[in-house]
Copies of this chain bind each other. A is one copy, B any other.
Amino acid sequence: MAANSLGDHGFGRMHTFKPLLIAASLLALHGQISAAEPSSTYSKADLRAANTLRERASTDDTAYQLVQSLTTEVGARFAGSAGDRAAVAWAVREMQRLGFSNVRTMEVKVPHWVRGEASFTVLEPSSQSMPALALGGSVGTAPEGVESEAVMVKDLPALSALPTSAVRGRIVYFNNRMERTRDGSGYGTAVAVRAAGPALAGSLGAVAVVIRSVGTSNDRFPHTGTTRYSPEGPRIPAVAISNPDADALERQFASGKPVRLQITSSSRDLPQALSANVIGEIPGTDRAGEIVILGAHLDSWDPGVGAIDDGAGVAIMMGAAKLIRELALKPRRTIRVVLFANEEFGTSGSQTYLAASAAESARHVLGFEADFGAGPVWRLSSRVNPAQLPLVDQIHRALAPLKLERGGNEARGGADLDGLAKLGMALLSPDLDGTDYFDVHHTANDTLAQVDPAALRQSVAAFAVGTWLGAQNPGNWERVTTPKPPRR
């Protein structure tokens, strides 16, 4: 997953006038009034098939094999890179091998930023070199680097509170530490520094930014992730250091002596490149025109090999769809797996998908997104029309052997389905346990070793059952008309 608090990319605003229109046409399509429809009940055959899926998932290692194959044969696949192109070919091949229908690619323009090498050195009071990663999109430095006295602040409000004289010409060090939580809620507050810190510091006259990584581990891995400059403001270089190094730097500040830092980075932008969303389907039957969309993203940050972000999500979705395809029963609605390009560096994959699907966006009746690691699933949340909560309860009961908590109806979803959700598409969210996710997120340590095969199987079970029952809804998936809260 990418920064969830980066806000709208303009796209959501562009479409804010549409939901009612779309909802209206959907209602016309089915000739029903959503608010009045009572909850329907699943057939025994559908529930038996759900049990079959759950049981088969418990011994099926397709998902693990997929994430192993993707991380071994492709590895890192940052937007615009050779790995990105290799990943698209891999996904097409694997979807075809698994017997998906209508396997195709949708061309996506992606920015092409290259990391280069970054170095970070504390020059004074005590000389130390520390591993650093440039923030995604950061400008590089001149070869000799940037060197200056530094000022330490906790976060954006603390920086804003400083007099300009304390910032001008300085390197700003943001020292805020992210909190570990199961649901990822610690990320939202922490990531603001990464997303907006360099832009703010630049506007105040700073010459560079260093951040304590947005991550929860005490291992010495810096965490990268996108930063965003303001179009009108100065663009200053920005790097992240690991938590243990941030602790050491904090102690150097605590000495009371001036802290002098040096940063070098050869990050740079290359011309825009081409990538692709990869799409495959399990065709529906009597409601084939309605789409249950399973979203994950195919791209990854460059330092790791993208096992938990988001190889696992790719594998969960493909593994769940594969199990459904192997059922004797065929789904009512079409299940569409979309592996989005470039979630990490601006979500141009999902923006392209949304634009290309504008005419059929209302046909996307239900969405699932897996972009929060390799499981297990611990809770079932939703964002549905409240009249349909009893149906979600039925799905939760069908998942009873997995002992999931019953979450609320405020599921925020991930970045790639955000556009469709804002248009009123219902979301079902088998919530992946994120307790350890931010130990590894956006680091070089995002490798297959972080994926527990048993947790992955359990996650496939939850997504497969949820998807199947989502596709078999005996009534309609109503549009969701309450304003969507911002993603974390």
Contact = CB atoms under 8 A, between A and B. Distances in A.
B126 A449 contact: no
Contacts of A68: 251
Interface string A266-307: 000000000000000000000000000000000000001100
Contact of A219 (B82, B125, B219, B448): B219
A131 interface: yes
Most central of A73, A127, A218, A244 by chain B CB within 10 Å = A244
Interface residues of A, number: 35
B444 A72 contact: no
Given A72-B126, A126-B72, A128-B75, A248 B447 contact: yes
Given A251-B68, A444-B220, A449 B244 contact: yes
A448 B248 contact: yes
A418 interface: no
B447 A244 contact: yes
A72 B220 contact: no
A127 B305 contact: no
A448 B247 contact: yes
B445 A74 contact: no
Given A68-B251, A248-B71, A248-B305, A444 B131 contact: yes
A447 B82 CA distance: 35
Nearest to A250: B72
Interface in A64-78: 68, 71-76
Most central of A74, A126, A131, A220 by chain B CB within 10 Å = A220
Nearest to A302: B129
A131 B68 CA distance: 19
A83 B449 CA distance: 34
Contact of A75 (B71, B126, B449): B126
A245 B447 contact: yes
Contacts of A450: 218
A487 to B, nearest CB: 29
Contact of A449 (B125, B243, B445): B243
A409 interface: no
B72 A449 contact: no
A132 to B, nearest CB: 12
A257 to B, nearest CB: 11
B74 A219 contact: no
A141 interface: no
Interface string A111-143: 000000000000001111101000000000000
A86 B128 CA distance: 11
A445 B217 CA distance: 11
Interface in A211-229: 218-221
A213 to B, nearest CB: 13
A52 interface: no
Interface string A439-477: 000001101111000000000000000000000000000
Interface string A147-158: 000000000000
Nearest to A82: B127
A252 interface: yes
A407 to B, nearest CB: 31
Contacts of A251: 68, 72
B75 A447 contact: no
Given A72-B251, A75-B127, 17 more contacts: A71-B248, A72-B126, A72-B128, A73-B126, A75-B126, A75-B128, A82-B127, A86-B127, A128-B305, A218-B447, A219-B445, A220-B221, A220-B444, A220-B445, A243-B449, A244-B447, A245-B447
Interface of A: 68, 71-76, 82-83, 86, 125-129, 131, 218-221, 243-245, 247-248, 251-252, 304-305, 444-445, 447-450
Q: Which 3 A-B pairs have CB atoms at the shortest separation, nearest pair first?
A: A218-B449, A244-B447, A244-B449
